[in-house]
Amino acid sequence: MNPDYDVIVVGGGPAGSTAATVVAMRGHRVLLLERDTFPRYQIGESLLPATVHGLCRILGVTDEVARAGFTLKRGGTMRWGRGPEPWQFSFASSPRLPEPTSTAFQVERARFDEILLRNAHRTGVDVREGSPVRRVVEDGERVRGVEYTEPDGTAHTAYARFVIDASGNTSRIHGQVGGRRVYSDFFRNLAVFGYFAGGRRLPEPNSGNIFCAAFDNGWLWYIPLRDDLTSVGAVISPDNASAVQHDPRAAWQSMIQACPEVSRLLVDVPAATEPPYDRVRVRKDYSYWKNSFWQPGMALVGDAACFVDPVLSSGVHLATYGALLAARSVNASLAGDVPEERAFVEFQTRYRREYGVFYEFLMAFYDMQSDERSYFWSAKKVSKVDLTEAAAFAELAGGLVSGDMAVRPEQFGERWRAVADDLDGAVGRLATADDRVNPLVTSQVVGETFRAGNDLQDLALYGVPVEASVPGGLVLAKDGLAWTRVD
Ligand code: FAD
């Protein structure tokens, strides 16, 4: 049977738009099915440089995003750890983020996500909004397509060589791959969040920073979205669940009052009344992963695959980077350059490694008895980059640890295609086992211990050490949109 499409992407958030666009850029036939009609609300407003200067450039939306007037973010301001004073990290501390790429944006997701979705349509993706997918069609051998409902209520089935589930944390079809979600034992927090119609700003040059402030029950984020709009959320332990469930708005307000560093920025500022910012919302059970991210004919990306705690704003980065990896594997398979299984092992391995770096670092970051120097050291230990500790933190917090050309802004512009081979070497080096040893540590014994620790971490998370599953390693095609084989 000749399928209707090469790829069906389920969900039009950042992950879905990225996957669909990158496959369509290779001239393939892509259907994207989105349940809602855009613009639609979503949380996850603080972006990383890797997304803004890496992924957005690949997708061809850098200028459009820059013109949208989002708040410029230079880094983060943290009241975090045992010291009472706030401290800063700046993306500019990373040597791989020269001006003007050492920045990201704080975005209204309804607007940002719509830019990506409309761009997917312009690139040739058949985008259908108001079209929820109800289930996956498979025949015991592989996934073949999906059943969905059209806006007029008609049920329809579409067939494709690959289905990519990018339908987020509410995915109805992720169970087709890798069984149930595995919920983190460590990150069991819940979040209650809303908006203010204004709010004071941190002093320049940090006025656009995300501000994260710990308090007795957890921590608060403070994200300046517009002069007249600030996103404020509390991340708290599940012990507070009943108060939050009883009256989310009252619980949200009392958390803000309990944190003087944030409440003083909001004195006399009213809560927002414009939709969709007039509601206080709650999210829980958001830190999870799947034991597998793919099966023949289907892959999971974005929140459908995994997410971990929002404090480093890694969600959209992980979603778009994972989607790019999946799209490269689809493109490589469709071109016949790499067997499907090999291509998707590459996707899964790189995606797990990126998730694992954030997961491992965040565990150290939640130790409130530490100070920023020790957080910086942990960033260096986990990321294994050959940089100062503060720069390692900036790399990690900027989404650059993978070393992938897609998220290394300084390599873009006119030069980027020409240097693809060099960059590819860098990615290849990252994929070797030796790079998993902490470069801070020269002793082989201690290095081996770290390596074993990493393998244990991988074992705990995924059931196998990640490196063990990558014999060889694929390299990027010249256009950065697919893998090719190393001979
Ligand atoms: P989504 O953005 O959820 O998109 C999925 C899409 O699929 C939606 O449009 C949905 O309508 C559609 N869909 C769902 N079901 C179906 C169906 N059956 N058929 C068709 N379509 C369907 N990330 C950051 O980067 N920065 C932050 O500051 C940040 N803060 C966060 C704070 C909290 C409290 C939480 C919980 C998360 C935060 N995140 C943050 C994470 C971020 O929200 C997600 O990682 C990101 O939105 C994932 O993108 P996605 O494309 O995978 O999914």
Tens-digit pLDDT profile for residues 352-399? 999 998 888 888 888 877 888 888 888 888 888 888 888 888 888 888
Residue 257: give its domain's CATH number.
Answer: 3.30.9.100
Does some domain include residue 94? no
Domain that residue 231 falls in? 190-284
pLDDT of residue 165: 98
Same domain, 256 and 162: no
Nearest ligand 1 atom, CA 48: 25
Same domain, 443 and 479: no
Same domain, 175 and 197: no
- Which amino acid is residue 368, in one-letter code? M
Is the confidence at residue 455, as pLDDT, over 70?
no
Residue found by looking up tokens 């120097």 in the block: 373
pLDDT of residue 406: 67
Does some domain include residue 295? yes
Same domain, 393 and 341: no
Does some domain include residue 15? yes
Nearest ligand 1 atom, CA 166: 52
Of 256, 243, 239, nearest to 194 by C-alpha is 256
Same domain, 344 and 389: no
Same domain, 176 and 293: yes
Instruction: Write down the pTM of the prediction.
Output: 0.88
CA distance 22 to 298: 16
The SS3 call for residue 307 is: strand
Does some domain include residue 102? no
Same domain, 394 and 369: yes
Ligand 1 pocket, 10 CB below 6 A?
Answer: yes
> Which amino acid residue places its CA nearest to atom 33 of ligand 1?
310
Residue 58: give its domain's CATH number.
Answer: 3.50.50.60
Ligand 1 centre distance from Cα of residue 416 (Å): 30
Same domain, 24 and 120: yes
Of 284, 304, 330, the last residue of a domain is 284
Same domain, 48 and 131: yes
Does some domain include residue 89? no
Is the confidence at residue 151, as pLDDT, over 80?
yes
**Number of compact structural domains in the chain:** 3
Q: Which of 34, 209, 235 to mutate to test the pocket of ligand 1 (most atoms within 8 A of CB)?
A: 34
Same domain, 403 and 474: no
Between 394 and 293, where is the model more confident? 293
Mean pLDDT of 224-253: 96
Q: What is the ipTM of this complex?
A: 0.99
Ligand 1 pocket, 157 CB below 6 A?
Answer: no
CB 108 within 8 Å of CB 225: yes
Ligand 1 pocket, 49 CB below 6 A?
Answer: no
Ligand 1 centre distance from Cα of residue 168 (Å): 5
Of 284, 301, 321, the last residue of a domain is 284
Element (H, E) at 9: strand 5-10
Contacts of 438 (CB under 8 A, 6+ apart): 380, 381, 384, 446, 447, 450
Ligand 1 centre distance from Cα of residue 302 (Å): 7
Of 284, 299, 318, the last residue of a domain is 284
pLDDT of residue 42: 98
Does some domain include residue 460? no
Between 473 and 244, where is the model more confident? 244
CB 190 within 8 Å of CB 284: yes
Ligand 1 pocket, 283 CB below 6 A?
Answer: yes
Same domain, 122 and 65: yes
Does some domain include residue 397? yes
Ligand 1 pocket, 409 CB below 6 A?
Answer: no
> Which amino acid residue places its CA nearest to atom 44 of ligand 1?
315
Residue found by looking up tokens 């969900």 in the block: 11
Lowest mean pLDDT among 167-171, 179-183, 418-422: 418-422
Residues facing 286 on adjacent strands: none
Contacts of 160 (CB under 8 A, 6+ apart): 3, 4, 5, 6, 7, 8, 31, 144, 145
CB 291 within 8 Å of CB 180: no
Does some domain include residue 342? yes
Ligand 1 centre distance from Cα of residue 303 (Å): 6
Ligand 1 centre distance from Cα of residue 44 (Å): 7
Element (H, E) at 476: strand 475-476
Same domain, 28 and 120: yes
